[in-house]
Amino acid sequence: MSDLTIGNVTAAPGTRVRGAIPVTMLPGGRPLEIPIIIINGAQPGPCVWVDAVIHGDEPEGTLACHLVDAQLDPATLRGSVVLVPVLNVPAFEAAQRGNPLDTFSYDLNRIYPGKADGYLTERLAHAHSVCLRETATYEISIHSGGNHSYLSETIFATTDDKAIELAQAMGKGWGLILKSFLPKGSPPAVMFEAGKHGITVELGGRPATSPRDFHRCGRVLAEGILNVFRHYNMIDGTPTYAEKWLTGVQHALLAPVSGMFLAEESAECQKPMQKGDLIAKIVDVYGDVLAELRAPTDGMIFGLRALPNVQTGEWCCFYAEIQGELDKK
């Protein structure tokens, strides 16, 4: 086993350290950096990165990182874990999807691998990418529905066996694995291009930020991540698995008109639907129906808008076209 150095810190085998990956200085004299927690196990094994708050309005992953951190003992860990509780700090501080001060590279999850001499957030993506390429065996990007939607337990993975194995390692309750054929612009894309493996996991968002729901999302995410560690024999315990894994592709249903988004009362995530089933209506200020959203194929809703005010072109429904089941890898 050897020391693990990332950013401005080094973790000796069998230790836990906190530090940061420096990016640059901000006008007010504060550093822009990526906070990290490294738990370097005393015994050999893979290096797993967990990246939270790529989008600043998706703090479920931050809580998950805290819960995972509390469960890991570097003295018994096999391999190493790098937790990034908040990847995009300015976006987190503003509780917005991107850094509001960076209009040129606003959405961090679209600009990987970034650029050393690019726009501000491209530089952040670059600093993160370099460390990922150097050290990560596996990467888990945590997302949610953010300020506008709720997303149920859903994973996006490339279609190769190793990425599907990583997705299946999330365990019980994670039975929807959607295809991300050629990921672009995200941390899993950096992993893919480096011949490594990364997945995007989704859970939570606007209607699930009440105390009880928020803790539930954090716990479910943390339990999935710990199950990944069990699957790869990094910690003791018997991993769980979903009863079956459905796979398919995502359809993002965008608002055809502006108005008030009114989902059907029966609309529910991960309940089978048939092509043409009514999902939601958009009504005007007088209550007249302007548009209907219907299931584009047989499949299921996996995420739904939770902010009734809607403008043309905004996300309304995250729909999974189911194409079959996956075998265990």
Residue with the two structure tokens 């050897």: 2
Rounded to whole angstroms, the Cα distance separating 241 from 245 reads 9
The torsion angle over the Cα atoms of residues 110, 170, 36 and 27, rounded to 10 degrees, is 20
- What's the sign of the alpha-carbon dihedral 173, 178, 179, 184? negative
Applying CB under 5 A, the span of 38-46, 110-118, 139-147, 257-265 interacting with Zn ion comes to 139-147
Question: Which of the ranges 58-66, 71-79, 83-91, 239-247 carries the binding residues for Zn ion, by CB under 5 A?
Answer: 58-66
Q: How far is the CB of 145 from Zn ion (least distance, A)?
A: 8
Q: Which stretch binds Zn ion (CB under 5 A): 13-21, 35-43, 137-145, 227-235?
A: 137-145
**Which tokens in the block code for residue 89?**
């700090």
- Judged by CB under 5 A, the stretch of 11-19, 135-143, 150-158, 250-258 that binds Zn ion is 135-143
Question: Distances from the Cα of 19 to the Cαs of 1, 16, 33, 83, 247, in angstroms?
Answer: 20, 10, 9, 11, 38
HSE (CB half, 13 Å, CA atoms) of 261?
26
Q: Of the two residues 203 and 246, which places its CB atom closer to Zn ion in the complex?
A: 203
Size of the site for Zn ion (CB under 5 A): 3
Q: Output the smallest distance, CB 107 to Zn ion, in A.
A: 9
Binding residue for Zn ion (CB under 5 A) from 11, 33, 55, 227?
55
Q: Does 148 help bind Zn ion (rule: CB under 5 A)?
A: no
Is the Cβ–Cβ distance between 217 and 145 less than 8 Å?
no
What number of other Cβ atoms are within 10 A of residue 151's Cβ? 25
Q: How far is the CB of 108 from Zn ion (least distance, A)?
A: 9
In whole angstroms, the minimum distance from the beta carbon of 109 to Zn ion comes to 6
The arrangement of strands across the sheet holding 289-294 comes to: 289-294, 278-283, 259-263, 309-310
Q: Would you state the structure tokens that stand for residue 110, as one six-digit string?
A: 């679209």
Shortest Cβ distance from residue 55 to Zn ion (Å)?
Answer: 4
Q: Which is nearer to Zn ion, 83 or 235 (CB)?
A: 83
In angstroms, the CA 178 to CA 170 distance is 14
CB-nearer residue toward Zn ion: 143 or 148:
143
CB of 141 to Zn ion, least distance (A): 8
Q: Which of 72, 67, 56 is nearest to 17 (CA)?
A: 72
Any contact of residue 143 with Zn ion (CB under 5 A)?
Answer: yes
Determine the interface stretch with Zn ion among 63-71, 123-131, 138-146, 307-315 (rule: CB under 5 A). Answer: 138-146
Contact footprint for Zn ion (CB under 5 A): 55, 58, 143
